[in-house]
Structure 1
Amino acid sequence: MKEQYSKERYNRKQKGATAEEAAVQYLVSRGYSILERNWRCRSGELDIIAENKGILIFVEVRSRSGTLLQGTPEESVNARKIHQVRSTAQVYLHMKGYEERMISFDVITVILNEDLSIASLGHIREAF
């Protein structure tokens, strides 16, 4: 008897973790140091906090799988998300005493195949 797989055989959490791991590997391969992953506070979560050439970089990872009927990963970074990431980054900077650091907000987009392999990965520097 042949095993049947549903279209949604991986859940959102698994897909998100796969995309974030791909983003981390990509950043490390380009000389970035990963300082934090999934940093949380009351105002939200920061996917990746990295450093490169003295700049502190807050990286939002957005992914899609299967068809792009719900839009591209880039399109999912809306005004509400930008506000949430900026607010959470301010909390992080204050808590770490990094108010004077140069910062950047980047977005890494990942499109996943059905088997969770990476179909494409894009890096938008200084996205917002």
Structure 2
Amino acid sequence: MNTSAHNQALGARGEAIAAAFLEGRGFVILDRNWRNRYGELDLIAYDGRALVAVEVKTRSGDGYGSPLSAITARKAGRLRRLLLDWARAHGTRAPELRIDAVGITLCNTQAPRIDHLRGIL
């Protein structure tokens, strides 16, 4: 498997794990991998009354540090704009908009490590 295909498969697996994790905590997943010309949202969900864009970062091991360290303030700002675009495109209004991040670390012999940061922006 080439690097690009491996990364896509790893990302898809991480997003599925993150979606199941969030659903287990009461989130309602509305959309996955929504994109427009400005970028892509991995997961869009309701958490109570909050409309939440969830950025999922997946790593296969600890060699490059925490997956969440890859999310910069600039990236978080772009995610907020994308969430507003998604809400407009779907005619959705919510009293609260939030950006969350979920980091998934996959190690061969262990259960995935899941880190969830609420309200990164």
TM-score normalised over the length of structure 2:
0.86
The runs of 5 or more residues in structure 2 that have no matched partner are none
Identical-pair percentage? 32
Distance, in Å, in 1 between the alignment partners of 2:59 and 2:6 is 12
Residue equivalent to 1:121? 114
Count of residues in correspondence between the two structures? 119
From 60, 63, 66, the equivalent of 2:58 is: 63
Supply the RMSD in Å over aligned alpha carbons. Answer: 2.1
Distance, in Å, in 1 between the alignment partners of 2:9 and 2:37 is 23
- 1:100 Cα deviation after fit: 5.3
Residue equivalent to 1:44? 39
Residue 81 (structure 2) pairs with residue 87 (structure 1):
yes
Secondary structure of the residue that 2:112 maps to in structure 1? strand
Residue equivalent to 1:103? 97
- 1:120 Cα deviation after fit: 0.2
Residue pair 2:68, 2:103 contacting (<8 A) in 1 also: yes
- 1:66 Cα deviation after fit: 2.5
Bigger mean CA offset, 88-97 vs 45-54: 88-97
From 68, 72, 75, the equivalent of 1:74 is: 68
Q: Of the two, which has the highest radius of gyration?
A: 1
Q: For 1:57-99, what per-residue CA distance to the aligned partner results, in whole angstroms no more than 9, with x for missing partners?
A: 110001111332x332111001332132122112112222335
Distance, in Å, in 1 between the alignment partners of 2:81 and 2:50 is 18
- Structure with bigger helix share is 2
TM-score normalised over the length of structure 1:
0.82
The runs of 5 or more residues in structure 1 that have no matched partner are 1-5
Residue pair 1:59, 1:107 contacting (<8 A) in 2 also: yes
